[in-house]
Amino acid sequence: MKRTDITDIWPEATKEQIDRLMDINGADIVRAKGEVDALKLQLTTAENEIQALKMTPPQSMDKELEQKLKSVTTELEGLKQANALRDLRAAVSKETGVPAELLTGETTEACKSQAEAIKAFAKPAGSPRIRDGGEVREPGPAATRDKFAAWMDENFPSSASH
């Protein structure tokens, strides 16, 4: 915008009014140029990124994605197998009464065989026989009961009940 443009539209404008309009117009132009410069910078950055992508062969991106897919698929299969094995051991545990944590087999048959072996090992061969029930077998001064009574009499004479 020029001063003559303002006087053509508004002939009675004073010099101060024209100066004020020119200052406002100048500020608008500076702000607009700043916005244009920022947009040019964004455009240049975007063009550089496009050039970089054009230089990167798409096959390498496909291979990278393919490798990631294989990795995730392998991990998923491993988790599925681990869950199936845990479920199998839990079922055998429920059926046999042997804790699932003790089972290491990978098939139902192997786990059942292992459970039977664990149960056989854990089961005692029978109740132990206790030969001495505490009764006195040999009467006389050599009996343990008599020895204890004699000791009590010696050490605590007032509590003797004989």
Q: Is 61 exposed, middle or buried (0-12, 13-18, 19+ CB in 10 A)?
A: exposed
Same domain, 79 and 64: yes
Residues 118-135 as b/e (b if ≥16 CB within 10 A, e otherwise) read beeeeeeeeeeeeeeeee
Tens-of-pLDDT digits for all 162 residues of the chain?
A: 788 888 888 899 899 998 998 999 889 889 989 999 999 999 999 998 888 877 776 666 678 888 899 999 999 999 999 999 999 999 999 999 999 999 999 999 999 999 999 988 887 666 666 665 566 565 555 677 878 888 888 888 775 555
Q: Is 2 exposed, middle or buried (0-12, 13-18, 19+ CB in 10 A)?
A: exposed
Question: Is residue 142 one of the residues assigned to a domain?
Answer: no
Same domain, 63 and 110: yes
pTM equals 0.40
Same domain, 50 and 71: no
pLDDT score, position 116: 92
Dihedral of CA atoms 51, 56, 62, 67 in degrees, nearest 10, equals -130
